[in-house]
Structure 1
Amino acid sequence: MKRSIVNRVAHLVAGIGDAGQRVLKTVRDHRSRLQRRVFSPFLLLIPIVCSNSMRAAPANIWEEFSVEKAFAHVQRLVDFGPRPAGSKAIEKSRDYIEDQLRGSGWQVTRQAFSDDTPRGKIQFVNLIAQFSGQGKAASPSFLLCSHYDTKMFDAIRFVGANDGGSSTGLLLELARVIGQHPNLARKIELVFFDGEEAIEQFSQTDGLYGSRYFARQLQSGGAKQFRGGLLFDMVGDRSLGITLPANSPVEIARDIFAAAEVLKLRNYFTYLGRELVDDHVPLNAIGIPTLDIIDFDYPWWHTADDTIDKVSAQSLRIVGSVALYYLSEFALR
């Protein structure tokens, strides 16, 4: 009811006494009730609308993985050329990896050591990264690992796009995504192993130089802080088929399969049916159950044809998404 009508009624009843005042009160009460009927439901909707517009949907961390960024890392590493231990190219790779990790909020430590090889003493450097953003100290309990060296060949130019490149690019992108979730990141330690490749043939003293040294340093007591780990190796094959070795930790393998099932990617993961010698072996030997996520059915393994055109961004996405789902929903929930 408009104010002019109320005023006219007030003018008409003025001077009529108590009866007039009662009429005026009735008119005002009617106006008040009418306003409440019209405006109250609308006002009640305002906080609901605002609340819904401001409430962000829960983030699925596995959907944050960027295939473009992961593939770009692989391309950059391949552009450095062959990257065997002790080479100038692997030093360029180290600088690149460190820069990318620091840009994502990780603190990087160089674990340098030398070891005897069939070609004499060689200097190796593992890169170890922890996250301590927002002023809180890291307390890692889970390892994510990759080797970043390539095998040394005299007769061919081996750039290791898949073998050494794909897993390193993947781990750098995982570091970026995980770094945006500090509570998760502080529970993880990243390790980039040098010297995974044997100088000649894998043996007790040739190959796995970085992981063997890393494990020895933890053996005095540090291994107990880690309840598990994932190792990535050769994860970029265009015809992806992750083949978990027979010596895989049963519980982690089960949960990786479950994560892949949820994401409808289970058909890309199976068992190899035999054991593999890789950087997970020294870690398992000191009591850190570590799963080797590897596609060992790769025709261009240790050939000059292990080039960037053999690497698929889609394969990197599959492995990265499953790893992130596993970490957030199983391992570190």
Structure 2
Amino acid sequence: MKSKIALLLLLALVLVSACESSKNTDVSSNETYNQVPEFNADSAYAFIQKQVDFGPRVPMTKGHQLTKEWIIEKFKSYGLEVKEQDFQTKTHDGLTWDLTNIIASFNPSASKRIMISAHWDTRRIADKDTQRIDEPIDGANDGASGVGMALEIARVLATSDLQPDVGVDFILFDGEDDGEPESSYNRNNSQVWWCLGSQHWSKNPHQNGYNAYYGILLDMVGAKGARFYREGYSRYYAKNIVNKVWNFGIELGYSDYFILQDAGEITDDHYFVNKDAKIPMINIIEFSPNTGFGRYHHTHDDNMDLIDVRTLKAVGQTVLFTLYQE
């Protein structure tokens, strides 16, 4: 009888050990999590540098076209299913722009889907600067950092032996960073002249009946010393997702980046995804409740000197971790 009890205890220990081997506890709490591959911040940095090397990605310019072709090629090289959503829209000053939202799907057959978004265009003026105001900016952080992070997450998903239990749609919006000069913004929001790509996609999704469990918008996620507060519309539409992501970031050791403090509402791409597409989406964005956007915002200081691999690692690893816990 004793030998049978000992055998049962041994089998139980083996089963517990087997279960634990499929989990990762490399976080500060005692809770067990699914194993997660490493987010390579150096790779994300290189993706950002490549975009900046194309020059400003202002719609209807050579830099914009070359960047589009490169992004699409990168996603395809990782085996993702890529769609281009071409559309025309008017700008605040009466121009007609040809724009393209880029959609790249990982594991397209999965029914449970997560959206990862950013914008891939840059601003045509440096209206918060004191010099070269009428020249376009590099947009290393405001645009390229989110795209670089999305591409690195796609690369990891495509090459890792560890696979999440969800499908992921990378939806990169065009025409986000236009709009009137800072001095003449239409403050009543009766007409929003920026976020052009997300406004179009949210009312005309790339796939009939498209839905996602939730979305994460990556906007200005690579600056040195960045701090990420809980943005207002994110809390209003997707409070549980905000709490989950911020808690994961803190448990992973990134409490210097993910700050448990509320910030105000920002009319960014996620606002239209929430309001019109009815998909709960949060915004990870550098915006302080005390000082607003960083000093580089819409200036020529938004260049590669601003980008820090430590910030990229903190945000990228947290987002990747979140995906693998679904």
Structures share fold, TM-score greater than 0.5: yes
Poorly superposed stretches of 4+, deviation over 4 Å: 56-63
Amino acid at match of 1:305: D
Q: Please provide the CA RMSD for this pair.
A: 2.4
Residues in 1 aligned to 2:119 and 2:35: alpha-carbon distance in whole angstroms:
24
Q: Quote the residue 1:174 is aligned against.
A: 153
Is 2:228 the counterpart of 1:239?
no
Amino acid at match of 2:307: V
Residues in 2 aligned to 1:126 and 1:61: alpha-carbon distance in whole angstroms:
32
Q: Give secondary structure in 2 for the equivalent of 1:152.
A: coil
Which of 125, 129, 137 aligns to 1:158? It is: 137
Residues in 2 aligned to 1:215 and 1:315: alpha-carbon distance in whole angstroms:
29
Question: Which digits, 9 at most, give the CA deviation of each residue in 1:300-325, with x for residues without a partner?
Answer: 01001111010001111100011111
Q: Give secondary structure in 1 for the equivalent of 2:102.
A: strand
CA contact (8 A) 2:163 2:324 kept: no
The structural deviation recorded for 1:57 is: 7.6
Most deviating of 69-78 and 245-254: 245-254
Number of residues paired by the alignment? 272
Over the matched positions of the two proteins, sequence identity in percent amounts to 30
Write out aligned runs for 1:1-333 (5 A). Answer: 62-117=36-91, 118-132=93-107, 137-139=109-111, 141-153=113-125, 155-180=134-159, 184=164, 187-200=167-180, 201=185, 203=189, 204-218=191-205, 222-223=209-210, 225-248=211-234, 249-270=238-259, 271-285=261-275, 286-296=277-287, 297-329=293-325, 332=326
Question: Which digits, 9 at most, give the CA deviation of each residue in 1:73-111, with x for residues without a partner?
Answer: 000001111111222111111111111111111111110
TM-score, normalised to structure 1's length?
0.75
Residues in 2 aligned to 1:86 and 1:72: alpha-carbon distance in whole angstroms:
25
Higher relative contact order (CA 8 A, sep 6+): 2
Higher helix share: 1
The structural deviation recorded for 1:298 is: 1.5
CA contact (8 A) 1:152 1:199 kept: no
The structural deviation recorded for 1:62 is: 4.3
Amino acid at match of 2:231: P
Aligned CA distance change for structure 1 residues 63 and 187 (closer, same or farther; 3 Å):
closer
The structural deviation recorded for 1:183 is: 5.2
CA contact (8 A) 1:228 1:290 kept: yes
Question: Which digits, 9 at most, give the CA deviation of each residue in 1:115-136, with x for residues without a partner?
Answer: 111232111100001124xxx7
CA contact (8 A) 2:44 2:312 kept: yes
The structural deviation recorded for 1:184 is: 3.0
Residues in 1 aligned to 2:154 and 2:281: alpha-carbon distance in whole angstroms:
18
Residues in 2 aligned to 1:157 and 1:122: alpha-carbon distance in whole angstroms:
16
The structural deviation recorded for 1:156 is: 2.8
The structural deviation recorded for 1:268 is: 1.1
The structural deviation recorded for 1:185 is: 7.6
TM-score, normalised to structure 2's length?
0.77
